[in-house]
Amino acid sequence: MNDATPEVLISEDDIQSRVAELAAQISSDYEGCSDLVMVGVLKGSFIFLADLSRRLEIPRTIEFIAVSSYGNKALSSGAVRLVMDVRGDLDGKHVLIVEDIVDTGHTLKYLIGIMKSHRPASVKTAALVRKADRAEVDVTIDYLGFDIGDEWVVGYGLDFAEQNRTLPYIGVIKPDD
Ligand code: IMP
Ligand code: MG
């Protein structure tokens, strides 16, 4: 891969204002709810989850879940494997899955199934980015940051081969470079 600085696709300012809008929407939708559990999908969601959760004006707790990803390849097999489940009890709680990016949709669909097996009161989804043209399965994103095209993005938690996760913006790289 190249060592060049990724080209800016979504700026830090645009991310921050969109995250603030999503947090306001979530705070209003869950108003009066005392048992919201935000479930971050490791590793990619860690920065989005940190920023989103700190902007909420309602009580919330944080859990993490880990699933297998594509590894270092830019191709999806559609196969998803649970690596680490949540620790806390989700029975009767309101679960909000927080994902970095929805590509084919297989991962999010799988995660919704895992969450439902914990018998929560409700399951909703938030994703910072979606590659709408790549959808292979029908999955609802209740809170979406941005739609992008079919390109590999890094930064704000997202990686390519574990690199560039901590960029403050979302940038584009070309894995074949
Ligand atoms: P899906 O199952 O095809 O929707 O893939 C979702 C997962 O693939 C995400 O949670 C990411 O871990 C990874 N992924 C897909 N596209 C990108 C990208 O452009 N940059 C970084 N990770 C990506
Ligand atoms: Mg992910």
Counting atoms of ligand 1 from 1, which one is nearest the CA of 134? 3
Interval 141-158 mean pLDDT:
97
Cα angle, residue 129 at apex, residues 47 and 87 outer, rounded to 5°: 50
**Arithmetic mean of pLDDT over the chain:** 93
Task: Report pLDDT for 79.
Answer: 84
The two beta strands, 152-154 and 36-42, are: unpaired
75: exposed, middle or buried (Cβ count in 10 Å: 0-12, 13-18, 19+)? exposed
Predicted pLDDT at 30:
98
Residue among 100, 103, 134, 150 whose CB has most ligand 1 atoms within 8 A, to mutate: 103
> How many helices (DSSP H) and strands (DSSP E) are in the chain?
3, 9
Looking at residue 69, its pLDDT comes to 63
Residue 36 pLDDT: 98
- Predicted pLDDT of residue 72: 46
Confidence (pLDDT) at 76 = 59
Q: Is the pTM of this model over 0.75?
A: yes
pLDDT digits (tens, 9 = 90+) for 9-40: 999 999 999 999 999 999 999 999 999 999 99
Where do runs of H (alpha helix) occur along the chain?
12-29, 46-55, 106-116
Residue 86 pLDDT exceeds 90: yes
Predicted confidence band of residue 54 (pLDDT cuts 50, 70, 90): very high
Give me the phi and psi of 67, to 5 degrees please: -125, 160
Name all residues whose Cβ lies below 6 A of ligand 1: 44, 69-70, 76, 99-107, 152-153, 158-159
